[in-house]
Structure 1
Amino acid sequence: MNTSQERDSFQDAFIKNFICVALGIIINYINGVFVYTFFKSAVFYGNSRYILYIHLVTSDMIMLFVTVGLHIVTYAVPFMQVSLCCFLLLLCNVTAKNAPLNLAAMAIERYIAVCKPLHHPQICTVKRTYILICLIWMASTIPALVDIFIIIALKPLSFFNSNTLCVLWNVFTTQQHRDRATAVEIIFMLFVWLTLFYSYFMILHIAKNASTDQACAKKAQNTILLHGAQLLFSMLSYIAPFIDMYLVPLFPKSRSNILFTTFLLTHILPRLLSPLIYGIRDQQFFKYIKSYFSCKLVIVKIESKPEPKQ
């Protein structure tokens, strides 16, 4: 988020906030359509793939709402109480880290479905899927809580009652925070990428060998590449603080634009890939979306027709 809003003119500030709010509303509306479709269709309740997908979408919606709100706050009311800021930053960090871990879980589910189809119903049950979601939240929350505990250990409690600019590296300023962030991000990145590579290369291998339809194999390959692209964009949120730390000193006059660009590319735009990859390309999901919204359009047209004159 922008830590130097005082250097922006009113026009620049308005344009940046307008872009963030507009994209946030559009992406959350699209994601909300998929959440609505999921809860309206009982057919999705027992499918671990769709449960994981809706968890990914919901987590993205929370993350977008909080981050866009914080971005606006840094312009409108720059300073807020540290305790509230810590809670909001914790929520941002947790939901941001949920996405790559959720993608790893979806990769494992697809690997089991394609490579071990006979065992898929026994392994990927609804109960185990929700347990896995709880583990994802635990894995994302514990590092964020460690940041809070470091502040409690190193700073007086009065620090939480003070006001500050609510930006990650402005609150978690110690070397311990940087060491913790570096270690955790490396571990997360290695785990998720190894999981993705293993799962999807195995799926690609099975798809090419088992299918005589070359078009089907090509479609599977394209899907895998899209998953990799989404993961790559999601992982950018891990290294965004480091990008800012290295680029800002090199181009101090462009600090505001650098921070805004990295925020846009690593926190907002990747959230648009989930509905495009999993929702619109999924024929079953798209079929239910079309049926619900086409029915609503028909109802609206019928209600809007004028009554015939007597």
Structure 2
Amino acid sequence: MTLERFVAICMPLRHGELCSTHGTLHCILIIHGVSSLPWMISVYIFFASASHSFYTKSDMCFAEKFIFHSWQGHLRSAISQFYFLIMVIIITISYFKIMRVARAASGQNRKSTWKGLRTVVLHGFQLFLCLFQLWCIFIEAAVLQIYPMLYINVRYFNYIMFILSPRCLSPLIYGLRDEKFFVALRSFVLCGLYKKQLSN
């Protein structure tokens, strides 16, 4: 998403060439393949290491149950930190250049400059929230060892805060800017008490 925005703003004449449907499909397949490789290895090691009695136990299901060896946990942490570092570098460099181009394109119009920068900052904040989910595994593992009963609540919080809300943030904010949507939402939230008619 970051690189697509970078190409669209910083290289608009090459956007159609670089962000074609065919190229996007290949990028999505590569991203899914690279990101699923560590989990596939963990699952294979799990099936090779788990005893028959493990399958008959009644217990909570979470990712830490698939880790039988200490080196698996260290490898999982190293991969998450590597992904985090690479994505922070890509997002920071891309959005720094995007903000420079947006400021230069706006010229002396401060209102337009502020509007463009605000949109860029919103997208950056949204991506950093998504990025923080790579740290959730460390928080959840620590909570599981210290307060096992709190583990489920922390997982729900992390899911809503760092997986669900970043994906809802942008549509909600853009929707609230639309007058008709805002009026309809306000009427819905106030259970129909707000009776202002929508303008055509």
Q: State TM-score, norm by structure 1.
A: 0.51
Q: Distance in 1 between the 2:54 and 2:62 partners?
A: 14
Q: Which amino acid aligns with 2:121?
A: L
**Paired position in structure 1 for 2:117:** 221
Amino acid at match of 1:265: F
- Cα displacement (A) at 1:261: 4.3
Change (3 A) 1:216 1:203: same
Cα distance 1:236–1:276, how it changes in 2: closer, same or farther (>3 A)?
closer
Deviations 1:215-258 (A, max 9, x none): 22212222232223223322332222322343565xx5x5423x
Contact 1:189 1:235 in 2 (8 A): yes
Structure with the greater relative contact order (CA < 8 A, sep ≥ 6): 1 or 2? 1
Which residue number in structure 1 is paired with residue 44 of structure 2? Answer: 149
Could you tell me how far 1:155 is from its partner in structure 2? 3.5
Q: Provide the residue aligned with 1:61 in structure 2.
A: none
1:266 aligned partner: 158
Q: 1:159 to 1:131 in 2, by over 3 A?
A: farther
Matched, 1:233 2:126: no
Aligned-partner Cα distance in 2 for 1:261–1:216:
43
Aligned residue type for 1:214: R
The residue that corresponds to 2:187 in the other structure is none
Distance in 2, Cα, partners of 1:261 & 1:228: 27
C-alpha distance in structure 2 between counterparts of 1:171 and 1:274, whole Å: 28
Task: Name the counterpart of 2:191.
Answer: none
1:275 aligns with 2:173: no
Quote how far apart the aligned CAs of 1:142 are. 0.8
Structure 1 counterpart of 2:95: 200
Instruction: Give CA-to-partner distance per residue, 1:55-92, whole Å, 9 cap, x none.
Output: xxxxxxxxxxxxxxxxxxxxxxxxxxxxxxxxxxxxxx
SS at match of 1:170: helix
Identity of aligned residues (%): 21
Say if 1:234 and 1:266, in contact at 8 Å, map to a contact too: no
Q: Measure how far apart 1:190 and its partner are.
A: 1.0
- What is the distance in 1 between the residues matched to 2:31 and 2:174? 24
Q: 1: CA distance between counterparts of 2:47 and 2:101?
A: 51
Equivalent residue letter for 2:42: D
1:81-230 correspondence to structure 2 within 5 Å: 106-156=1-51, 158=52, 161-163=55-57, 164-212=59-107, 213-230=109-126
Is the 1:233–1:266 Cα contact (8 Å) retained in structure 2?
Answer: no
1:59-98 maps to which residues of 2 (within 5 A)?
none
TM-superposition CA deviations, 1:125-157 (whole Å, max 9, x none): 01111111111211221111010122234344x
Q: Which runs of 5+ in 1 are unaligned?
A: 1-105, 294-310
RMSD: 2.7
TM-score, normalisation: structure 2: 0.75
Counterpart CA distance in 1 for 2:36 and 2:53 is: 22
Residue of 251, 256, 265 corresponding to 2:149: 256
Q: 1:165 aligns to what SS in structure 2?
A: coil
Gaps of 5+ in 2: 185-200
Secondary structure of the 1:119 match is: helix
- Distance change (3 Å), C-alpha of 1:127 and 1:267: same
